[in-house]
Structure 1
Amino acid sequence: MLIINLIQKNTAFLKKLFAVILYVIPACICISCTPAPEASTGFLYEYGVFLNLSPETAGYEAKLANYHTVVIDAQYFSKEEIKGLKDKDHIVYSYLNIGSIENFRNYFNEYKSLILSNYENWDEEYWINVSDPVWKDFITDRLAPSLLEKGVDGLFIDNVDIYYQYRSEKIYNSVTDILKRLKSKSPNIIINGGDTFISRYIDEKKQPADILSGINQETVFTAIDFEKGSFKPADIETQEYFTDYLKKARKQNIDIFLLEYTNDDKLRDEIKHYCDINGYLYYISSSIELN
């Protein structure tokens, strides 16, 4: 308050000093958080991704308490538990994996015949044939409705990157079909990753609003060393590619979210500053487990 009062006296020097302070000092003081601009929602942070959090996690409600928009795996939450979160004014998105299948899902045995290949670095996961009508109908007519019926506000779609792994017209058209069908069921669709698919979709002058409302891009400024089980800064080429891609997406009126992994305070501050000046929301996790 002292600095603000001095500025109000129209002292030019102090105005410049305050601008420098705003640039240098981060507004976020915790390890994994996104500050809410002006605290307009009443929450301390605007966005958090908690895919490995469940009602069995001790104190799970307290872990979510400070976050306005939260991404959870609603398959493991009841309708009443999700209502409890919404009653506390959380906006709740549910994880939905359309491009791969995990062996711990209760529907794994029913669809494992559609597996295409192993998923690198994730032993429990496999790329799946999204062009198969059986899988498409399962995702859009059974799985997604079962999540939406629980009262979630939107869907957080993972593994659109199946098109990066299998770059064929059949896969591209099938992903497009799935996303359009999902968007018809929920206006709020955040796609996690999927830059190869989304870039092509935009380049073809199609309407992104037909398939999504937002993009969550992982590891723009950070990288995961799976062999060492640690984090590191992303290389410059990766950073430039993704920042250019996100600018391109933003011009299409797509909401942008970043999900980063680091324990480095300096890098965390750089990510925060980048998101603040571009109007993006972000979540920085100190754990790949997202719990």
Structure 2
Amino acid sequence: MVVDYRYHTPEVYQSLKSMLASLKRQGFKLIVNGGDVFVSETLKDGSAKNLYDGINQEDVFTTYDFNKKKYGRQAKKNTDYYERYLKQAKKAGLDVYIVEYRAGRELSKRIGAYCERHGYKWYNADSIELN
């Protein structure tokens, strides 16, 4: 399910919560990919753990410019934001996954150590196509 931050309205929020709750009642393990605005709201209102089991966040440490078709390093302010967000999700009892793109050797070591310290799992994709 794709959730776009541009449609951040009370109606969309409640609809998403309703859909996720229905899927959860059916026994599905649910991981929200991206959706930090939605996830942050559910963390605030205490409903996150009842709606989904974990989150996946792309581009915490790396980034991809779709216009230039170029891989790069995420801006520090964005990394800091995502680190705070992931910590909140983990504290709420959610599983945390990270997907990065073409993290080099040194950055991969840093990401691996960071994830091990915090109990996150991560994947370093060779390309934006996730292969």
**Alpha-carbon distance in structure 2 between the residues aligned to 1:189 and 1:268:** 27
Segments of 4+ moved more than 4 angstroms = none
Describe how 1:93-242 pairs up with structure 2 within 5 A. 98=1, 159-160=2-3, 162=4, 164-204=5-45, 206-242=46-82
**Alpha-carbon distance in structure 1 between the residues aligned to 2:61 and 2:7:** 26
**Alpha-carbon distance in structure 2 between the residues aligned to 1:276 and 1:251:** 15
Letter in 2 for 1:207: S
**Which residue is equivalent to 2:90?**
250
**Alpha-carbon distance in structure 1 between the residues aligned to 2:48 and 2:22:** 13
Report how far residue 229 of structure 1 moved.
1.3
**Which residue is equivalent to 1:34?**
none
Q: Where in structure 1 are there 5+ consecutive unaligned residues?
A: 1-97, 99-158
Q: Where in structure 2 are there 5+ consecutive unaligned residues?
A: none
**Alpha-carbon distance in structure 2 between the residues aligned to 1:203 and 1:279:** 22
Report how far residue 165 of structure 1 moved.
1.2
Report how far residue 263 of structure 1 moved.
4.5
Sequence identity percentage: 36
Higher RCO, 1 or 2 (CA under 8 Å, sep at least 6)? Answer: 2
**Alpha-carbon distance in structure 1 between the residues aligned to 2:124 and 2:27:** 27
Give the aligned length: 131
The reply to whether residue 259 of structure 1 matches residue 107 of structure 2 is: no
Q: Which has the larger radius of gyration?
A: 1
**Alpha-carbon distance in structure 2 between the residues aligned to 1:239 and 1:261:** 14
The reply to whether residue 281 of structure 1 matches residue 106 of structure 2 is: no
Q: Which has the higher helix share?
A: 2
Superposed CA deviations along residues 230-274 of structure 1, whole A, max 9, x for unmatched, are 211100000000000111111111010001101522112211111
Superposed CA deviations along residues 57-86 of structure 1, whole A, max 9, x for unmatched, are xxxxxxxxxxxxxxxxxxxxxxxxxxxxxx
TM-score by length of 1: 0.44
Is the 2:62–2:103 Cα contact (8 Å) retained in structure 1?
no
Coordinate RMSD, CA, aligned: 1.2
Report how far residue 228 of structure 1 moved.
2.0
SS in 2 for 1:223: strand
Letter in 1 for 2:74: A
Report how far residue 185 of structure 1 moved.
1.6
Is the 1:187–1:213 Cα contact (8 Å) retained in structure 2?
no
